[in-house]
Structure 1
Amino acid sequence: MTVGAITVLAAVGLTVDTSPPDAPDITPLAEYSPQPPAPTTVAPPTTDPTPTEPAPAPAEDPGSAHIEPASIPDGPLGIPGIALDAYHRATERLNAERPSCEMDWTVLAGIGQVESNQGRGLFDVHGNTIGRILGPRLDGSLPGTAVITDTDGGRFDGDREFDRAVGPVQFIPSTWANLGRDGNGDGVADPNNIYDGALSAATLLCGQGGSMADPAARTRAILAYNNSLAYVANVNAWAHGYAVNAFPLPSDLPEIHRPEPVVEPPQPPEHCPEGWEGEPTAAPEPAEPGQPEPPVPGCTKVTPPPTEPSRTEAPSTAPTPTATESSPAPGPAPAPAFPGLPVIELPCIPPFCVPPPPA
């Protein structure tokens, strides 16, 4: 099989299991392929935990350590630090589970680069892509595409009629249902998370058998991911570039005829947070590590009404003086009268007498 024989190449390629449930073999099927590839027997990983088995303890599982990804510096050729960390953790975990695979983190990095340009370098602090990365609709409308009707009810790709590849390493939902794994120990296997995607991609590659250090076995594994020799050449070129910290030459990157993945921006929340009012118009910006959540566009913080000061003094019960009572008398104030005593008028003694009014 030569590069010239590939007329239409895989866009978001992963393989899907098209064999009957009781068949012992699995036939990989690329999303873009001029003809179905030859059947290949795939030995399922024997050490992968099944849903009924308990998850490995964090101390023994390098892929489940809790970290602050945003603090990781970028790696070779500007690869995002969080993606670099995900590839290293997936490699360590697969090599612990299946030493014969000899997984190399640069292979995973090459797939991430070819599939989505490392998720466009936009991840939140948990490794989730900012905006959902979707491949073309697998409805057969593009030349060479497989027709894959909906298998996830639109849960991952938002399409309830046909499947679309999802995430930074572009998994088809039906493939994710079989191979999707939790790479960061949060209890959820999400194809939109770089840690989960990296571990799942490593599992798919190792499932093809052989060592990633063997060029033939490595080529076979990458072809199972995407049935295209041009795709294999691109992945290997980028993997080598990451290993030596040098960009591939254009001649090492044959053109892959495929539409680019579509990026769906984050959707605004349905309601404003508690204590805020209005109608959300957009998704909030991702929060920086250790910083409070930024406000949701379109929401305004509700200002609580001012509280009236409490009055601790009892209201006065003294009568309000009338206008005549409050007016000053022209003469001296009369002495207060005591009940039961006679009122005695004393004569005026100068100079304390009030002068008589003028005639």
Structure 2
Amino acid sequence: LLANWTLAITSGMVLILIAGILIYLWRRLPLFPVEVEQKGLKVIAGNTTRLTTRLKNRAKIPLHIFVKSGYSWVHIGQTRFWNLFAEAELDLTITPTLSGPSQPQIEMLVVDSWGLIQMRQLVKPVNLYVIPRARYAEWLAKKYLEETAPPAGAILAMLPAAATVTAPKSGVEYYTSRPYQPGDRLKDIDWKHTVKLQEIVVKEYIEDTRQMAIIAVNLTAANIEEADKLVYNLITSALTLAREAIPTAVAAYSQEQVLTATPPLDPREVVKKALQLGQRVVLLAPVERYLQSPDIRQVRTSLRRLERTNAEPARKLRAILELEKRAIEEGAKEHPATRALNRVTAHTLPPAMITVISARNHDNEALSVTLEDLRKRGYSATLMKIS
């Protein structure tokens, strides 16, 4: 009996102690025990930025704080703070998306130093102003056009806007003049200098080494985020080529038609065309695929290998692959991507550099066939996939 009374008294004393501690903690812990300094941040969508803000313990006791991000594009440097009594720094690495919230929430689990009370608190440490990539690229393009605009009253300003710079049709450019030698062509005679110097002078030419370029763009996107990346890549590609003074042809297409196919344009006209096409992007729901898209290069390679053997299984497999190859090539032949690239390559001879900007939605098979054929003709092709 005495042992029971001793146990009861001890249990009661423990309960009273715990109750006292709990009352003490509740009086010391405010409803929101952690205060976070909110900072403003202006950033371009998709760019990674680091930010440091401060945590402040509003309670009158040390706290254990566990920090967790609910977004894949918000990463936290230090996620655990032990016995925080005053302040601490919170490091964030942010790569915002265009469709993300402007004030991303961070979850904090606050525990007292005895581990008796846990509190969950949501904080907003940053106020984001996300600039679309396309808007930033448009600003860069307009700035370039302003900087390269001819001065008022200049002769160049009076030229028609349609006048564009193309590569010499003969594939050569003037190098120097020299005295006539037997065997020189009459059409190469420099008559102006011949009359002036009183001796026959001919023009000497060298091959034009300037490489031209082609921008091919698929103006369909699955969502706003994808459209933003597409326009950004289109305009920045045009700007890069313009700053290098590379004559560039532009081919643009949608799921249904060819939207434009130009001859090589001068730098300013290329940038203007990219700005115009950036306004014509169409949102198209992606087609759900259950099988991987066929690769024409892999099919052709497999056919070449199967031609080396006459075994019956190899012949049957070769027949199936031949059928698949014809189906892919026939489907690609009339696709807008193929028609657009055929039109611009008629004006832009190899070796030209082709930059393809596409989300690879409706044009995947057509691009595989067409780019493979163009590479065989001497073009170089780079695919800038939008993902």
Do the two structures share a fold, i.e. TM-score over 0.5? no
- Larger C-alpha radius of gyration, 1 or 2? 1
Write 1 or 2 for the structure with the bigger share of strand: 2
- With structure 1 as the length reference, what TM-score do the two structures score? 0.18
- Structure number with the bigger relative contact order (C-alpha 8 A, sep ≥ 6) is 1
- With structure 2 as the length reference, what TM-score do the two structures score? 0.17
Write 1 or 2 for the structure with the bigger share of helix: 2
